[in-house]
Structure 1
């Protein structure tokens, strides 16, 4: 097919097929049969090489004109069919404008309970005048143990309890901090009293069961000045517990204990009435007056300065307040668990508005 009459017939047939296409699928089939790699118009272009030079130019222009007409007809018919398809969808699909708006990422996203509790703790202590101090997760023996008056033979310094890195050429070893107490040491070394800080962060110990994990979260507090005494410590802890558990009164019990970095040292229990379980005691934290050796190790005169320190597990506080039974779930990455126990990112805890409302 190379004559003008044949091209006119082909054009008429193709335009008729395009006009007769009843849907987009049929129209696409016409497009492939006409302009595809083996389509009828494309085959005409392949004949150009076999034509005499004097005919090649006119034939090529004629075929290109045909190709343009077919393409334009395809585009026009496609627009008509798309409009018809949309009209058909609109007849069968309805949007109920009375339905509630779908929740977006801001409403669906959840803050991890530990992150929420950390914000609650910071809010409470900030109201008491404490600032937040931070330090590295990777520490030295000196900062993690020596300056805290922890002797070389202490069980916490053994390989079965602490994550150590490979020894350096000089024999010293870095480690993953076992508590946030090194932050207290760094603060006392860097600044002179008065000091009033809390030190939240991740800590690491070789322990794993329903209530222990190799990595967990702590917050420790430190107050150093010339007149702080045990009564101040008890008041701070009492006010913290009342604010955190959102109760008017809380029963507290201080039991004698031993920590190398405090003297005297105490374990603190609270009455379980704070979480709706009367008649029980809950151990929540350890505390005491800062040991004079720790003050000396930081360049402070224990004859002039004294203070107190305390430490509490954020994960344990979270479990107690929000009734979470298994600590391992905190680190499972289960979105269903997070959706149940997590907090809206808009629920910023404030003492005025309520920590957990």
Structure 2
């Protein structure tokens, strides 16, 4: 075996022991680099005769080619080994079930709101929706709230940095009562001049805003206001409608409902509505669920109607509180925290 064959075997041996691409490149430099052993052989040809250069050059070029082939083969072997290791690390078990897209569900407040709309719809009430940024007139004045009423305070109501045509600040509506006024006014205009006007029967569910936050209050909450105005609507109708609603909403007649005298500027007489379940954890506890009363004559007048001819009742209930009672939730904030562990219970 001559020195050139020995050089090829030496290169093949070093290439075979290179465990990484970096080690292989270092081995390549020792044989094919600028100071490598093959390069040194080529430099040594300067002292040879022309005939010797021809034969020796052909031999060295053949050796160089054999070394380069060995280098290429080792590079491919290292690349294949790396790919195989990567495939093993990222191996897929095709017998596993596929990933499924999770199914969503209606929010419990949305469920409660839709239930409320369906129940009152069955009693002939329409559903009204309107702006959440309201004028002072619709939020307070039209509802017979005097200018010095505490509800107009910035400690109770969120105001918007914008004024209406009368120079009053706009506000985030503190209740959905403005929709009662808007709906009744549109109804009165529609039947103006006619001998008979159909009864106004409407509920206004939606978001409302007040400066309040604790376990049972939120700065943003949901409310449903109800209104029934006609020529012969009494407090007895209020009681019948609301008791029927409560029994359908909670799907039970095992409850007591009382109307407790109270005061609101927009109704006269006024009453708080309390309820008590006949069984379960809330048995024996009275819980306030709504404010109500016969619509004040001035509010009827602000609707564009004659209070000497038309009379009616109104009520306002917190949808969030009704949902808490229906689903057994003791902290209002859980509805709005976005915790899927809590919300997934209502799928």
Answer yes or no: same fold by TM over 0.5.
yes
Out of 65, 80, 92, the position equivalent to 1:76 is 80
- Following superposition, the deviation at residue 225 of structure 1 comes to 4.2
Change (3 A) 1:317 1:10: same
2:167 corresponds to 1:177: no
Contact 2:262/2:272, CA 8 A, preserved across alignment: yes
Residues 292-346 of structure 1: CA deviation (Å, up to 9, x unaligned): 3223323234455443221111222233333333444544x273xx63575333x
Q: Which structure: larger Rg?
A: 2
RMSD: 4.3
SS of aligned partner of 2:223: strand
CA distance in 2, matches of 1:304, 1:248: 36
* Separation in structure 1 between the aligned mates of residue 89 and residue 115 of structure 2, nearest angstrom: 55
Q: Secondary structure at 1:178's aligned position in 2?
A: coil
Question: Which sits farther off after the overlay, 304-313 or 65-74?
Answer: 65-74
Shift of 1:237: 0.7
Count of equivalent residues: 311
Deviations 1:67-107 (A, max 9, x none): 653343234344555677799x99xxxx899xxx999733x
Structure 1 residues not aligned, in runs of 5+: 19-28, 346-357
Larger displacement relative to structure 2 (78-87 or 131-140): 78-87
Is 1:243 the counterpart of 2:244 in the alignment? no
Contact 2:14–2:27 (Cα < 8 Å) also in 1: no
Kindly state the Cα deviation for residue 284 of structure 1 after the two structures are TM-superposed.
1.3
- Residue number in structure 2 paired with 1:189: 185
Cα-to-partner distance string for 1:231-256 (whole Å, 9 max, x where unaligned): 33222211111112221343221223
Bigger Cα displacement from structure 2, 272-281 vs 283-292: 272-281
The runs of 5 or more residues in structure 2 that have no matched partner are 44-56, 191-197
Does the 8 Å contact 1:130/1:198 carry over to 2? Answer: yes
- Secondary structure of the equivalent of 2:20? helix
Give CA deviations for 1:190-226 in whole Å, capped at 9, x if unaligned.
Answer: 3445443322223222334443333322121223444
- Among 322, 343, 346, the alignment partner of 2:345 is 343
Structure 2 counterpart of 1:147: 142
Equivalences for residues 1-357 of structure 1 within 5 A? 6=7, 9-11=10-12, 13-14=14-15, 16-17=16-17, 29-34=19-24, 39-41=26-28, 47=34, 68-78=72-82, 105-106=102-103, 112-166=107-161, 168=163, 171-191=167-187, 192=190, 194-273=199-278, 277-331=282-336, 333=337, 335=339, 339-340=341-342, 343-345=345-347
Q: TM-score, normalised by structure 2?
A: 0.70
Shift of 1:147: 1.4
Distance 1:117-1:103 versus aligned 2 partners, 3 A rule:
farther
